[in-house]
């Protein structure tokens, strides 16, 4: 079964003004779709032909990894956003963040700094280990923390294609806008699933 581009849980213009319809049209409609098409093409006739996307992320290399992980990463990223997003998480995730960084504002500052300082293309991740301990991780290119045995909780795409149409070279402005559309109830539910 070939992989498919997952549906977005919102209309393409609904994240405006944080992320424009035009950016979603290219980022989701072109870039994400191209990674889907490429990985489907590359796995033909290989040991990964019938593998799950998670297995591809964890075990493959080269072009299969690059395109497969980009499919996984983008699906996770787009799903974490919502037109009614923003604010702060509640409950277990809020307490885990306070444990690690003191406050949500301090966490947000550290995550934003990691996103702004990542050189070149990549992803910044909020991860949890199997005990629920949180960390902020920078990954270059298609990097994904599943390869380090960590559970992804939230991610921010800092490839230029994620923000250039809206913010040109001003990555920090894109990072500020990202916080206005994070779907914290969904992210907190994800974390609760990891940390039991
Ligand atoms: Mn991207």
Q: What is the pLDDT of residues 32-83, one digit of tens each?
A: 999 999 999 999 999 999 999 999 999 999 999 999 999 999 999 999 999 9
Alpha-carbon distance of 96 to 46, in angstroms, equals 41
Distance 28 CA to ligand 1 centre (A): 8
Mean pLDDT across the stretch 116-140? 97
pLDDT for position 195: 74
Query: Which part of the chain is CATH 1.10.287.990?
Result: 21-79
Distance 98 CA to ligand 1 centre (A): 29
C-alpha distances in Å from residue 21, one per residue of 145, 173, 174: 29, 17, 14
Counting residues of the chain whose pLDDT is more than 90, the rounded percentage is 97
Distance 17 CA to ligand 1 centre (A): 18
> Does the domain formed by 21-79 have CATH 1.10.287.990?
yes
Residues around the ion ligand 1 (C-beta < 5 A): 157, 159, 162
Distance 78 CA to ligand 1 centre (A): 9
Q: What is the CATH code of the structural domain delimited by 91-195?
A: 3.55.40.20
Write down the pTM of the prediction: 0.97
Interval 98-109: pLDDT, tens = 999 999 999 999
Phi, psi of 136 (to 5 degrees): -110, 130
Distance 110 CA to ligand 1 centre (A): 21
Query: Which part of the chain is CATH 3.55.40.20?
Result: 91-195
Structure tokens at 119: 């050189």
Of 123, 120, 124, the closest CA to residue 109 belongs to: 124
């Amino acid at each position: 079964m070939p992989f498919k581009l997952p549906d977005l849980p919102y209309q393409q213009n609904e994240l405006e003004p944080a992320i424009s319809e035009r950016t979603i049209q290219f980022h989701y409609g072109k870039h994400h779709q191209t990674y889907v098409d490429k990985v489907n093409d590359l796995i033909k006739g290989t040991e990964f032909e019938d593998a799950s996307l998670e297995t591809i992320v964890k075990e493959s290399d080269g072009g299969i990894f690059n395109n497969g992980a980009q499919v996984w990463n983008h699906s996770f990223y787009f799903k974490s956003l919502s037109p009614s997003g923003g604010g702060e998480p509640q409950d277990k995730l809020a307490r885990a963040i306070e444990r690690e960084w003191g406050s949500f504002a301090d966490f947000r500052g550290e995550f934003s700094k990691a996103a702004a300082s990542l050189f070149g293309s990549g992803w910044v991740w909020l991860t949890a280990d199997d005990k629920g301990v949180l960390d902020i991780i920078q990954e270059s290119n298609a990097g994904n923390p599943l390869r380090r045995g960590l559970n992804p909780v939230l991610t921010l795409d800092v490839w230029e294609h994620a923000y250039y149409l809206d913010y040109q070279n001003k990555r920090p402005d894109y990072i500020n806008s990202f916080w206005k559309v994070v779907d914290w109830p969904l992210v907190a539910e994800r974390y609760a699933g990891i940390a039991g």
